[in-house]
Structure 1
Amino acid sequence: MALQLQETLKEAILVYTGLSPATFFTLLALLFATYHVIYELFGPSETHHRPRNLEEMQPLPPPVQLCEITSNGSNTKKPLLMAIKS
């Protein structure tokens, strides 16, 4: 029974694709590996998970001002304010 199924599959692969079974399964494995590589590079990642609605978001803490600051750095006795948004 298993040998008959194997022969039937070999003939079907050859007739429908024109490839030998070894070539067919090699190409299938390469396509599968390529899909997984591309999905890992461009697919969603769990480290960059964003909340789907406002209820999942936590409120930000209020800003803290430690001292007087300058906006252009003209006063050397006061620190310059810098912000980095990531």
Structure 2
Amino acid sequence: MTLWASLTESIFHYTGLSPAAFFTILAIMFVTYKIVCGMFVAAGDYVEVKRANEYVVREPVQIGDVTEEDLKAYDGKDPNKPLLMAIKGQIYDVSRSRMFYGPGGPYALFAGRDASRALALMSFDPKDLTGNIDGLSDAELEVLQDWEYKFREKYVQVGQLVSHQTTSEASE
């Protein structure tokens, strides 16, 4: 009994609470902790969710000469295909930046296209999603050149765009 008396005296001395109040508060704190922890995904569950949403990052594969129509198939909708984008006719594998260029990303509309004009104009207008850079000012061409340098530095060039006529003539 001396242990219990010593414990109750210590609780009152350090907290100013009766043992009943102290243990009630302790129980409430424990229940609150469990409820708050239950509101979040358990660490084991997070690993499973991440694994389910993970896509395979592959080494870039050279695709060679493709048409703009063929490039559209590499817009990120098919997780088994690389995510590609072109600047000034040069195609880059942007798969490692899927969160930006993939579906739902802020720059997803550029994927699977030559976005030269849109990048030069800093535009998200669908009519600017073209490789046509005719009529751009020197300042806009400089902006485009900066984008091209960034892409060359960060991504692997995997091919280049060719016109549909060029590929049709080559197959004849």
Q: TM-score of the superposition, structure 2-length normalised?
A: 0.29
Q: TM-score of the superposition, structure 1-length normalised?
A: 0.53
Given the superposition, is the C-alpha separation of residues 15 and 41 from structure 1 closer, same or farther in structure 2, using an over 3 Å criterion? same
Alpha-carbon deviation of 1:46? 3.3
Query: Which has the higher relative contact order, 1 or 2, with Cα contacts under 8 A spaced 6 or more apart?
Result: 2
Amino acid at match of 1:47: D
2:52 matches 1:27: no
**Alignment correspondent of 2:12:** 14
Residue 46 of structure 1 aligns to a residue whose secondary structure is helix
**Alignment correspondent of 1:72:** none
Q: What stretches of structure 2 of length at least 5 have no aligned partner? A: 57-78, 82-102, 105-172
The alignment-based identity, stated in percent, is 37
- Count residues with an aligned counterpart: 58
Kindly report the root-mean-square deviation, in angstroms, between the aligned alpha carbons of the 2 structures.
Answer: 2.7
Alpha-carbon deviation of 1:44? 2.9
Alpha-carbon deviation of 1:30? 0.4
1:42-53 aligned within 5 A? 42-49=40-47, 50-51=50-51
Amino acid at match of 1:9: L
**Alignment correspondent of 1:73:** none
Alpha-carbon deviation of 1:45? 4.8
Instruction: Show CA shifts across 1:31-75 (max 9, x none).
Output: 011001101102535333225xxxxx674x747xxxxxxxxxxxx
Given the superposition, is the C-alpha separation of residues 34 and 4 from structure 1 closer, same or farther in structure 2, using an over 3 Å criterion? same
Given the superposition, is the C-alpha separation of residues 31 and 58 from structure 1 closer, same or farther in structure 2, using an over 3 Å criterion? same
Whose strand fraction is larger, Structure 1's or Structure 2's? 2
Residue 45 of structure 2 aligns to a residue whose secondary structure is coil
Amino acid at match of 1:27: I
1:75-86 aligned within 5 A? none
* Alignment partners' CA distance in 1, 2:29 and 2:46: 27
Q: What stretches of structure 1 of length at least 5 have no aligned partner? A: 52-56, 64-83
Alpha-carbon deviation of 1:6? 0.4
